[in-house]
Amino acid sequence: MTQRKVKTSYPHPDTAAPSGDRPVALVTGASSGIGKALCLVLGRHGYEVAMIARGQAALENAAEEVEAAGGVPMVVPADVTNRNAHEAALDTILARTGRVDVAVAAAGLGYATPAESLDLERLQRMIDVNVTGFVNTIGLVLPHMVERDTGHIVGLSSLSGYRGLPGNGMYCGTKVFNRVFMQSLRMDLANTGVKTLCVCPGWVATPMTRGNKAKMQFVLDPDKLATKVYKAMVAGKSLLAVPHGLAEMTRFGLPMPDTLYDLFVGRRRMPFA
Ligand SMILES: NC(=O)c1ccc[n+]([C@@H]2O[C@H](COP(=O)([O-])OP(=O)(O)OC[C@H]3O[C@@H](n4cnc5c(N)ncnc54)[C@H](OP(=O)(O)O)[C@@H]3O)[C@@H](O)[C@H]2O)c1
């Protein structure tokens, strides 16, 4: 779905002067995987990139790569689950840049939560980062964008956020939340200058999936995914579900009755499991 064309008040990244009035991006989960790959793409397109994650050393390493790619990184360590700390990080960013043009909520956790051995602590941790952290990032940045009537919110969901998968109940549940929350935001903001993009990838080769025992199919490269996200953002798309074939298969499974779906999916060993 393509959203209403709006005139952005921030300079277009491809035409921004190299050391001039750069557009500003805030990215969570910026030290690793998809978040880091997005920082690199945004940096390459001339953005000043405020990079948020907990681990300072990994953030600084990633920031060096962003700088080498031509971006202007800003390292802002924070735990997205802690609203006060996240708000303080945003205040630091706004004090320097005055605005955030693009906010990417990519911080996330993913691991198996099989029903036979549920561990409430592990379940809660995933809710804290994937749901509370996601909402903190968007909820803190959005008022500034709405006030300026311009901006772009990019939220990471997953193809796992369409229907339950065996052994992955909590991950799927949090990713459904991310996807559906982004859908509602899209509708709420349709008549404003703030755009939304929900990203639903299949498996991506990042530290999150590195230890998976089960075979992953159609695995995406994080840098290629980040380029697709950037293009989708510039094109004003509100949903990016990739890879295309797997996304189609996922959508095909949606109207299936449970008995049929369970037959295809229910006994499979899934990554994370
Ligand atoms: N990899 C996949 O196959 C895949 C597929 C579909 C969707 N996704 C989604 O894409 C997003 C990124 O995943 P990824 O694969 O890139 O993961 P990743 O490589 O494990 O990176 C996760 C990032 O999140 C940060 N993070 C974790 N907890 C945090 C917290 N409490 N506060 C701030 N930052 C935190 C981590 O840094 P610190 O630990 O230092 O904080 C790290 O920078 C997630 O939302 C994931 O669900 C991933």
Q: Where are the domains of the chain?
A: 24-266
Whether the CB of 85 sits within 6 Å of ligand 1: no
- Tokens at residue 204, please? 């991506």
Kindly report the protein residue whose alpha carbon is nearest to atom 21 of ligand 1: 32
Kindly report the protein residue whose alpha carbon is nearest to atom 32 of ligand 1: 79
DSSP-assigned letters across all residues of 85-117: HHHHHHHHHHHHHS--SEEEE---------GGG
Question: What is the homologous superfamily of the domain 24-266 according to CATH?
Answer: NAD(P)-binding Rossmann-like Domain (3.40.50.720)
Whether the CB of 82 sits within 6 Å of ligand 1: no
Whether the CB of 108 sits within 6 Å of ligand 1: yes
Phi-psi map region of 173: left, alpha, beta (phi>0 left; psi -120 to 50 alpha): alpha
pLDDT in tens, the chain (273 residues): 445 444 344 444 444 443 348 999 999 999 999 999 999 999 999 999 999 999 999 999 999 999 999 999 999 999 999 999 999 999 999 999 999 999 999 999 999 999 999 999 999 999 999 999 999 999 999 999 999 999 999 999 999 999 999 999 999 999 999 999 999 999 999 999 999 999 999 999 999 998 887 778 899 999 999 999 999 999 999 999 999 999 999 988 899 999 999 998 887 777 665
Q: How far is CA 134 from CA 4, 31, 148, 234, in A?
A: 25, 16, 22, 22
Residues 6+ away with beta carbon under 8 Å from 117: none
